[in-house]
Homo-oligomer: A and B are copies of this chain.
Amino acid sequence: MSEYINSVIENCTFVRAFGHKLKLFYMYKFENIIRVRYGETDRMGYVYNGNYASYFEVGRAESLRNLGISYKKIEDEGFALPVRDMKMRFFKPAYYDEALKIVTTVREKPGIRICFEYEIFNESQALLTKGDTTLVFVNKKTGKPDQPPAYVIRAFEPFFD
């Protein structure tokens, strides 16, 4: 059985108006599945709130991998990618053993900063959690924020042109 069903689910939205097809907005959207582990639950029986940070991380790492970008390789090439800020809003709890769908969206072409949005759904397609994170490309040599490697920018170009 496949735990991770990954796919690019859409990259822009079109509307038809006055006989023209108008591209409304661009984005990169990706989804994958994650199975809730026992140790991720708490005594309420819910997934503990702190564990969503880890689910978000899996969402963004897999969404990058789908573009041929390895988070690990970026780090090995001399960048650190610390999280600058993180927000999450909880609508419904997730439970042990549920196969959660993480939808990860990048709405803006990445530069020094890269923003990811996340939506987490349970098997009944109920929205459980929304969140976002901003990460900064930091050059390990200088310790300063820096432009990401060129191939990272190129990988996102098809979604924003």
Contacts and interface: CB of A to CB of B under 8 A. Distances in A.
A38 B46 contact: no
A12 interface: no
A161 interface: no
Given A72-B97, A97-B72, A53 B80 contact: no
Interface in A35-82: 35, 37-39, 41-46, 48-54, 57-58, 61, 65, 70-72, 75, 80, 82
Instruction: Name the interface size band of chain A.
Output: 35 or more
Max count, chain B CB within 10 A of own CB: residue among A49, A70, A86: A49
Interface of A: 1-4, 6, 35, 37-39, 41-46, 48-54, 57-58, 61, 65, 70-72, 75, 80, 82-90, 93, 95-97
The SS class assigned to the A binding surface is mixed
A55 to B, nearest CB: 9
A2 B86 CA distance: 28
A103 B122 CA distance: 28
